Amino acid sequence: MARVFVTHELPFPALERLRAAHDVDVWPKPAPPPPEELRLRAAHADALLTMLTDRVDDELLAAAPAVRAVANLAVGTDNVDLEAARRRGVQVGNTPDVLTAATADLAMALLLASARGLTAGEARVRSGDWGPWQPAEDLGADLDGATLGIVGLGRIGQAVSDRASAFGLRVVHRSRSSGLPLGDVLERSDFVSLHAPLTPDTRHIIDADALRRMRPTAHLVNTARGGLVDQRALAQALQAGEIAGAALDVTDPEPLPPDDPLLRAPNLIVVPHIGSATRRTRARMADLAVDNLLAALAGRPMPHAAT
């Protein structure tokens, strides 16, 4: 029986499967374990079940020589030093495919909310600032006949494209192997939705120059990774009216400090990284993470390996 450290309580049946086979230690607090606590718990573990908030780097793996498997409860692995894991013979797994529909649904929800100013309108109602109907008030952007630029046409980007067609949006895209140059996508689009992985090449792919290439009537949606966007440049662009609005499910860092200048920008929607937050999706993610650990601890390759 191996020892597994789980960095967050998972209220799903999958964790009981893991407990039935191994000795499971679960971090008991809502906030992620601080780095020193993560090192301490990992030092006594044979495997880890981690979240995106947990940094699994070479230093952590050096402090945990018995660890031979890391299951990340996410489609991405940018919190894990994959090269360090390879050098140490540590299997790393993720949870691909299962969150495609949920994240694509949220991207469309954010696009619609930004286009029609839903959060600002709802706030006015709650504050009592809902006056008589005005024909030129609360005007938003039409989707039918508009152009959606998708940056990163992987599974989620394609799912967003499929949904966008139902709203009458024309789609252009930029990905690693196809599509238009990024500048052309930005210049042609009424809405831009980000679905690229975070890599050294894509960090701050939406910077001040990219924002200036967007239309002043355009809206930016990000449900991928916060690091794709230069948030200082985004705040300045919104303040200056260089783009019409932005809707973010992801930020850098997460959580975003309440005094972050970005939160003072107008026409901005920020939600707390809920792209995969449906009951079915999160339960399935837990299933895949546990499948990865059970296989690795039995000496088999992970079925959803990231390395």
Domain shared by 168 and 110, yes or no: yes
CATH number at residue 123: 3.40.50.720
Phi/psi of residue 294, nearest 5 degrees:
-60, -40
Q: What is the H or E stretch that residue 285 is in?
A: helix 279-297
**Residue 69 forms part of a structural domain:** yes
Q: How confident is the model at residue 162 (pLDDT cuts 50, 70, 90)?
A: very high
Q: Which of 68, 224, 218 is nearest to 147 (CA)?
A: 218
How far is Cα 227 from Cα 69, in angstroms, rounded to an integer?
27
How far is Cα 104 from Cα 160, in angstroms, rounded to an integer?
5
Our answer to whether residue 273 is catalytic in this structure is yes
How far is Cα 217 from Cα 231, in angstroms, rounded to an integer?
19
Q: How confident is the model at residue 260 (pLDDT cuts 50, 70, 90)?
A: very high
Active-site pick, 273, 282, 284, 304:
273
What's the order of all strands across the beta sheet hosting 268-270? 170-174, 147-151, 191-194, 219-222, 245-248, 268-270
Residue 283, domain extent: 3-98+279-297
**What is the total residue count of the chain?**
307
**Residue 45 forms part of a structural domain:** yes
Q: Is residue 103 predicted with pLDDT exceeding 90? A: yes
Question: Percent of the chain beyond pLDDT 70?
Answer: 100
Against a cut of 0.75, is the pTM above it? yes
Our answer to whether residue 225 is catalytic in this structure is yes
Domain shared by 258 and 127, yes or no: yes
**Residue 303 forms part of a structural domain:** no
**Residue 304 forms part of a structural domain:** no
Pair 130, 238: CB distance under 8 Å: no
Long-range contact set of residues 97-101: C-beta below 8 Å, sequence gap at least 24: 97/155, 98/281, 98/284, 98/285, 98/288, 99/75, 99/156, 99/275, 99/276, 99/281, 99/285, 100/155, 100/156, 100/159, 101/159, 101/281
Q: How confident is the model at residue 171 (pLDDT cuts 50, 70, 90)?
A: very high
Q: Is residue 249 predicted with pLDDT exceeding 90? A: yes
Q: pLDDT by residue (tens digit) across 4-37? A: 999 999 989 999 999 999 999 999 999 999 999 9
Active-site pick, 174, 225, 282, 284:
225
Rounded to whole angstroms, the maximal C-alpha distance in the chain is: 69
Domain shared by 150 and 209, yes or no: yes
- Identify how many contiguous H helices and E strands the chain contains and give both numbers: 11, 11
Domain shared by 148 and 266, yes or no: yes
**Residue 302 forms part of a structural domain:** no
DSSP letters, 35-97, are HHHHHHHHTT-SEEEE-TTS-B-HHHHHT-TT--EEEESSS--TTB-HHHHHHTT-EEE---S
Average pLDDT in the chain: 96
Pair 93, 292: CB distance under 8 Å: yes
Q: pLDDT by residue (tens digit) across 48-72? A: 999 999 999 999 999 999 999 999 9
Helices marked H in 192-278 — which ranges? 208-213, 231-240
**Residue 150 forms part of a structural domain:** yes
Pair 152, 178: CB distance under 8 Å: no
Domain shared by 163 and 22, yes or no: no
Domain shared by 233 and 256, yes or no: yes
Domain shared by 223 and 113, yes or no: yes
Domain shared by 129 and 159, yes or no: yes
Return the C-alpha torsion angle 8, 255, 253, 286, nearest 10.
30
Domain shared by 228 and 130, yes or no: yes
Q: Is residue 307 predicted with pLDDT exceeding 70? A: no
Active-site pick, 9, 83, 254, 280:
254
Q: Give residue 76's pLDDT.
A: 87
Q: Is 125 exposed, middle or buried (0-12, 13-18, 19+ CB in 10 A)?
A: exposed
Domain shared by 89 and 128, yes or no: no
Domain shared by 130 and 157, yes or no: yes
Q: pLDDT by residue (tens digit) across 207-245? A: 999 999 999 999 999 999 999 999 999 999 999 999 999
Antiparallel, parallel or unpaired: β 91-93 and 69-72: parallel
**Residue 306 forms part of a structural domain:** no
Strand partners, 141: none
**Residue 233 forms part of a structural domain:** yes
Domain shared by 156 and 90, yes or no: no
Tokens of 246: 């932005």
Task: Work out how many domains the chain is built from and give that number.
Answer: 2
Q: pLDDT by residue (tens digit) across 135-153? A: 999 999 999 999 999 999 9
All residues at 6 or more sequence positions from 35 whose CB lies less than 8 Å from its CB, including other chains: 55, 60
Q: pLDDT by residue (tens digit) across 110-120? A: 999 999 999 99
